[in-house]
A and B are shown apart, each in its own frame.
Chain A
Amino acid sequence: MEDQLIDAVLELNEDLAIDIVSQRIREGDSPVSIISLVQEGVNRVGVYYNQGRYFIADLIMSGLIFKEVIKLITFPPEDSSLPQPVKAIFATVERDIHDIGKNIAVTYFNSKGIHPVDLGVNVPPEIILEQVTGDEPVVLFLSGLITSSYYSMKKTVSLLKERGLREKVVVVICGLVDEEVKNYVEADYFVKDIIESYELYVKLSADSQKMISNLELRRWAQKHVGSPPASVWQEVREDA
């Protein structure tokens, strides 16, 4: 994909990027198309960083440009692939204060019209659990780059279990994590990339709607004599 706006972001030329965006808004381009070009620019900056061509400051700058652009677009578009967004919580866990990845993720989710609860850095398990109340399902993103952050992640998961909340929380870990860390923490998923995180979130949102409606269906079935159509039961059993 080639576009002036992608290049402006990739070159980290904030003034130019803002000019192009303002002009395209005036010309009536859709917010979705504008934002996806900016996103593409930010992704390419990430690729340059991984190749050693760009530095941390450049990553931060791309995040700042992204944030400024979103301010120009008054109504962030709802992602149409999302039936109903599930609550998302972001936190850099206790003992760690690395948050560049998390902050870019916040901007990315915002650009999709999703507004996660961002608990900040060095967040103890208790504070995270305060956000996991009631019956509503939650996707919990825990970020950590320092080895001892894995311990805090594990503590958080074990507190969820202790309080009987584990079932309704999908735990996704991010930062310097891999399969081994995921297993240690007893998380459900690990992610290395913001787009992948968002796609996973979309999938989980869809699943959780299904989960909720299946739960309701079961409750309905318990209350009523007779059964719903066999095909519905089939679906419930598959999900159970």
Chain B
Amino acid sequence: MRNIILACEILEDEIRKARSAAENQDPIIWIDSSLHMFPQKLHDKLQEEIDRIDREQAPENILLSFGYCGNSVVGLKSSTANLIFPQANDCIDLFLYKNKDKITIRSSGCYFLTRGWLKSQYSIVNEYDRYLERYGQKKTDRIMDVMLAHYKCFTLLDTGAYPVEDCTPIALESARKLNMQLCMKQGSIQHLIKLFSEDWDEDFCIVPPGSQVTLDHFSELSLSPAQGQIL
């Protein structure tokens, strides 16, 4: 077998769309998105799946549709396959692929939404309702003031993988509840399409069998000698 895909559930819409665009038929193993909350557990789960794949299927490549996700991928190792994953901090980076303003957009106080994030019970918009139940309105407001102190808007990313107009009302409603503005931004699934069509250029990390993923694989952190001093 050539490839197996390990994928985060939150990206289901985008992954399905990107696979069909890439005409990719590789089997997928979905990883529970609640692990987003616990990078160490996400790491352990990914390693467990990789070990199982090594034992049972031993493909040539394991494609991880994840970003670094709080160091979750750091330390991963396959004994038989190449580990291949996009150069990205997280899924938000994936969707802002090649966007020149990525750093500014990310630092400007946006909490990002897609249909996947809106559905996830761990997204802030859905957690809010649980908090209301537990703490009542007044305390929930205080908690949310701390949580979202530096956030101004919810940014609905139109990745082209789901009908964004269907999500606008829920996103608007959530923004209203949490005193946020709602913005829209064009996203992209091009990075995922490249992952699934084996177009693995410098925007991907390829870690050979027996080697571990390290921070050095992440080019955003590299101080390229050509650039001399870091900026």
Contact = CB atoms under 8 A, between A and B. Distances in A.
Given A60-B143, A64-B146, A150-B215, A145 B70 contact: yes
A122 to B, nearest CB: 5
A95 B103 contact: yes
Contacts of B37: 56
B97 interface: no
A60 B150 contact: no
Interface in B49-67: 67
A176 interface: yes
Contacts of A145: 70
Contacts of A178: 71
A63 B146 contact: yes
Contacts of B231: 155
B215 A181 contact: yes
B131 interface: yes
Interface stretch (A24-32, A76-84, A96-104, A194-202): A96-104
Interface string A138-179: 000000011110110011001000000000000000001010
Contact of A57 (B74, B90, B147, B215): B147
* Majority secondary structure, A binding face: helix
B71 A103 contact: no
A220 interface: no
B135 A64 contact: no
Interface in A106-163: 121-122, 145-148, 150-151, 154-155, 158
Contacts of A147: 67-68, 70-71, 89-90, 218, 220-221
Q: Which of B71, B127, B134, B147: most chain A CB closer than 10 A? A: B71
Interface in B126-145: 127, 130-131, 134-135, 139-140, 142-143
A7 B31 CA distance: 36
Contacts of B131: 55, 57
Interface string B208-231: 000000110010110100000111
Contacts of A103: 146
B39 interface: yes
Interface in A8-62: 14, 52, 55-57, 60-61
Contact of A97 (B67, B109, B218): B109
Interface in B120-171: 127, 130-131, 134-135, 139-140, 142-143, 146-147, 149-151
Contacts of A180: 74, 214-215
Contact of A99 (B106, B149, B215, B220): B149
Contacts of A61: 135, 139, 143
Q: Which of B103, B107, B147, B214: most chain A CB closer than 10 A? A: B107
B70 A122 contact: no
A217 B109 CA distance: 50
A156 to B, nearest CB: 10
Contacts of B90: 146-147
B39 A176 contact: yes
Contacts of B147: 56-57, 60, 100
Q: Which of A57, A178, A180, A181: most chain B CB closer than 10 A? A: A57
Interface in B66-123: 67-68, 70-71, 74, 89-90, 103, 106-107, 109
A205 B223 CA distance: 33
Contacts of A55: 127, 130-131
Interface of B: 37-39, 67-68, 70-71, 74, 89-90, 103, 106-107, 109, 127, 130-131, 134-135, 139-140, 142-143, 146-147, 149-151, 214-215, 218, 220-221, 223, 229-231
Given A64-B146, A97-B109, A121-B150, 4 more contacts: A55-B127, A57-B131, A57-B143, A176-B71
Smallest CB-CB A-B distances: 5 pairs: A147-B68, A97-B150, A147-B89, A57-B131, A176-B70
8 contacts: A52-B38, A57-B127, A60-B146, A61-B139, A99-B149, A148-B103, A178-B71, A180-B74
